[in-house]
Structure 1
Amino acid sequence: MEAYEVIVIGGGPAGLAAALAAHKAGSRVLVIEREERLGGILKQCIHDGFGLVRFGEKLSGPEYAERFIDEVLELGIDVLTSSFVTELKKTGAGFLVSVVNRHGVTDYQAGALVLATGCRERTARQVLIHGTRPAGIFTAGTAQHFTNLLGQLPTRRCVILGSGDIGLIMARRLTLEGASVLGVYEAKPEPSGLTRNLVQCLEDFDIPLYLSHTVTRVFGEERLTAVEVAQVDERIKPVPGTEHIIECDGLILSVGLIPENEVAGQLGVPMDAAAKGPVCDNRFMTQVPGVFSCGNALHVNDLVDYVSESGEMAGRYAAAYAADGTDSGEHIAFKTDDSFLYLVPQQLRLEDRDKKGVLYFRSRNARRNAVFTMSINGKTAYTRKYGQLKPPEMERLEIDFGKYPIQKGDELRFEIKEVMG
């Protein structure tokens, strides 16, 4: 059985960054990727806008991924593609990873694991659209794959349900390829995508956005022929009498992303109900010692730059854990109120209370003149002002915990408050 200090599951931007960081920290690393090529979702994201934070320039998705892939190959890091993890087990020496590919089933030993499995899209059945099951209904990512990688236009006349970023980007992409995008329908009263994508992908192309509207039925036998849309009330329930039919041959779903954590479930990794990813500490280690999580498997990010950032930290700390093999086990749990949609990480290692830490969070509601507050035992210790916060826009915040007298047993509470003026 071949042994590695660190095994990274997932060869997208998070996994590649984790592998590079672990390798540079001195670990022998193996990357396991289920697809034929490395790069994850970036392979099909041919639009630019990637790398502004990390590289200070606009790159397409493939260009961004290529920089990491080239370095992984140059450093000789072991990579398995077209390979699937079928089983994970905790052992006395670390972890047993069973992998199946064209060569059969092979077991590998790892001192530490990095879960960089990305996220998946919600489907039509998960948003309870009634009707038949004709061809012509695609998730936004599938439509992107057809258009950008296969060179096939999946629809000529379509409706997009959901205003997530991939859906907005596909509204523009399909329009550029000659398709007619009849409208983007969003059940919530506010858009779900980034402001820049609303402007660049919808407004610049005169594509209408209908808020508080949803698709209630689909029609067609072999191929989609029409959809029924309706207004919804504050409980996201269709309003009777507002239904109307739109003839189309395509329905594109951009109704949310969910962190992919099926393999984490095999190890009993506890999950955060809000972020949908593992509960982790400031080193991105989950509550199963030796198992680290990063990127969109941990929580859905807006920018790939932050996906890579969390991957680097997870990889570096995984290498340190593999070398040492011990864990202090002492943490301070972060407390949050309902002003947050989520806050990641959820814990601070007691031994790291004198170091800087990175927090990622989303506000539950849109807020202007907001103040992010950290209190210790009820006393305000840190504040940060924001002109506005929006749920679709993730915020990154770096706090130097060493500036504050944090002790074992202290309560660290985070709140977002709206202030006047």
Structure 2
Amino acid sequence: MRTLKYDVVVIGGGPAGLAAALKAREKAEKVAVLERNDELGGILNQCIHSGFGLHVFKEELTGPEYAQRYVDMVKETDISCYLNTMVINVTEDKHVIAMSEDGMLVFEAASIVLAMGCRERTRGQIRIPGTRPAGVFTAGLAQRYVNLENFKPGSRVVILGSGDIGLIMARRLTLEGIKVVGVYELMPYANGLYRNIKNCLDDFGIPLHLSTTVTKIVGSKRVQAVEVSAVDENLKPIPGTEEIIPCDTVLLSIGLIPENELSKKAGIELNPITNGPKVDNALETSVKGIFACGNVLHVHDLVDQVTKEAEDAGMYAAEYAAEQKSAEAEISVVPEGLVRYTVPTKIASGRTPVTKIKFRVGRPVKSAKIRITSGDQVIFESKKAKKFVPSIMENVNLTAAQLADVQNEIKVTLV
């Protein structure tokens, strides 16, 4: 067993981890990235479609191109990258225990950045009745098979859920000559970005069935069909609406879950809505000196947003490593009404020059304004009403002056 000391240890070598490490290195002398795979870049390596980098690089890139730019930037520094290194524990005193090809490693860190990303929700978590035949995949697994392994998942596909990965795979499979019968979504609205619905479904004539779900998978050795049913306002299947759809493959695009087993081991308090850590405006978790960013914190729409958030986490982690102190969180951030969750959940006054409030709504809203209040005081209200959808994360920046008179909490709502 070897013990290594670093100022900042970043867990995860995807887009969040690389951006956090690069920013941390600007202020910290010794920075390490721990990655369980044999290469850096994370999930972007299998996302061969374009649409990345418009905000960060001001040009359109594929996922591998975006990842490679950060890999190249890291290689130009003295940041230590440990590949094939699986972190198995993180302690409250900021010791990171990992297994690598060289055996067990213990990293003693002054601060830690959690950037482990997220994983896909599986069939078992939504309990679809039926047998367990071959041909049921998560959308991300099918993406890896097609884009990296050159495997064909099937010939006739039904996609359950309208998450962005599923929409993108509907187009990808169609381009490979595979028939996509349709996309079936439990909710009365699509969960993916509008541009993906337009570019991946509408442009290829792939139907999107809202308020409809798969109620049974038919088949023994291989999927032969699925039973789909319309659902009511309580999302319960409506008897008599069942329809059998012949297919040999089912892709599940039913949501993402932050990878927070390590967060739990470190004793970090989690947000029950996002399943990610609760953080303050410096992205510090409830355990001092441990920060979180990217999809391990909450699921983002765009990798560009992940990068910018990760840069903040890396900067504040480096500052903590140098000063070994945290500001006490004084102001609670409370979502109200149609606002489902906020990041951060607490604000430490004076810790950041600008407090970035991010939130999502729980359902589509045709027209509303964002209002942030403290008691009877309105500290922010957007000038114009606009449309809100769950698939798009909203952002509001509050200055120190706007928060100067706030004592206990602020509420984020739509009016």
TM-score by length of 2: 0.97
1:364 aligns with 362
User: What amino acid sits opposite 2:140 in the alignment?
Assistant: G
- 1:404 Cα deviation from its structure 2 partner: 4.5
Q: Quick one: which of 382, 387, 390 aligns to 2:380?
A: 382
Partner of 2:399: 400
How is 1:13-412 mapped onto 2 (pairs within 5 angstroms)?
Answer: 13-91=15-93, 95-352=94-351, 355-384=353-382, 385-407=384-406, 409-412=407-410
User: Quick one: distance in 2 between partners of 1:236 and 1:278?
Assistant: 29
Superposed displacement of residue 55, structure 1: 1.2
- Structure 1 position 345, deviation (Å): 1.0
Deviations for 1:9-56, whole angstroms, at most 9, x for unmatched residues?
Answer: 001110000000111113311101111111111000000000111111
**C-alpha separation between the residues in 2 aligned to 1:27 and 1:241?**
66
The answer (yes or no) to whether the contact 2:121–2:254 under 8 Å persists in 1 is yes
Aligned residue type for 2:136: I
- Decide whether the 8 Å contact of 2:332 with 2:408 is kept in 1: no
Matched with 1:415 is 413
Contact kept? 1:356, 1:402, Cα under 8 Å: no
The letter of the residue matching 2:29 is S
Q: Deviations over 1:52-81 (max 9, x none)?
A: 111111100001111110011111210111
Aligned counterparts of 1:352 and 1:386: Cα–Cα separation in 2: 31
Partner Cα distance (1:396, 1:46) in 2: 28
Mapped contact 2:36–2:86 kept (Cα < 8 A): yes
Tell which deviates more after alignment, 394-403 or 376-385. 394-403
Letter in 2 for 1:370: A
Q: Is the 8 A contact 1:6 1:113 kept in 2?
A: yes
What is the CA deviation profile of residues 234-263 of structure 1, one whole-angstrom value per residue up to 9, with x for unaligned ones?
111111111121111100000001111110
Distance 1:134 1:107, change over 3 A: same
What RMSD, in angstroms, separates the aligned Cα atoms of the two structures? 1.2
Q: Once the 2 structures are TM-superposed, how far is the Cα of residue 370 of structure 1 from its aligned partner?
A: 1.1
Cα distance, 1:397 vs structure 2: 2.4
Contact preservation (8 Å) 2:329, 2:346: no
C-alpha displacement at 1:369, in angstroms? 2.7
> Structure 1 residues 386, 39: closer, same or farther in 2, change over 3 A?
farther
Question: Do the aligned residues in 1 keep the contact of 2:213 with 2:228 (CA within 8 Å)?
Answer: yes
Aligned match of 1:5: 7
How far the C-alpha of 1:335 sits from its partner, in A, is 2.1
Q: List alignment gaps of at least 5 residues for structure 1.
A: none
Q: In structure 1, the residue corresponding to 2:235 is in which secondary structure?
A: coil
Tell me if the contact between 2:295 and 2:306 (Cα under 8 Å) persists in the aligned partners: yes
Q: Output the amino acid matched with 1:375.
A: T
Q: Which amino acid aligns with 1:360?
A: K
Q: Could you tell me which amino acid in structure 2 is paired with residue 18 of structure 1? A: A
- Following superposition, the deviation at residue 411 of structure 1 comes to 2.9
TM-score norm. by structure 1 comes to 0.95
Deviation at 1:185, TM superposition (A): 0.3
In structure 2, C-alpha distance between the alignment counterparts of 1:265 and 1:386, rounded to whole Å:
39
CA contact (8 A) 1:377 1:410 kept: no
Which moved further from structure 2: 391-400 or 300-309?
Answer: 391-400
Detail structure 1 runs of 4+ shifted over 3 Å in the superposition: none
The one-letter code sitting in structure 2 at the alignment partner of 1:379 is: Q
Which secondary structure does the structure 2 equivalent of 1:131 belong to? coil
State how far apart, in whole Å, the 2-side matches of 1:168 and 1:39 are: 22
| Structure 2, unpaired ranges of 5+ | none
Alignment partner of 2:40: what SS?
A: coil
Partner Cα distance (1:337, 1:380) in 2: 14
Q: Look up the equivalent residue of 1:260 and give its one-letter code.
A: E
Write the distance in 1 (CA, Å) between the matches of 2:260 and 2:405: 32
* Secondary structure, counterpart of 1:415 in structure 2: strand
Deviation at 1:170, TM superposition (A): 0.2
> Deviations for 1:207-239, whole angstroms, at most 9, x for unmatched residues?
011111111111222211111111111111111
Conserved? CA contact 1:373–1:382, under 8 Å: yes
Q: Tell me, what secondary structure is at the counterpart of 1:190?
A: coil
Q: Which amino acid aligns with 1:178?
A: G
* Partner Cα distance (1:259, 1:27) in 2: 29
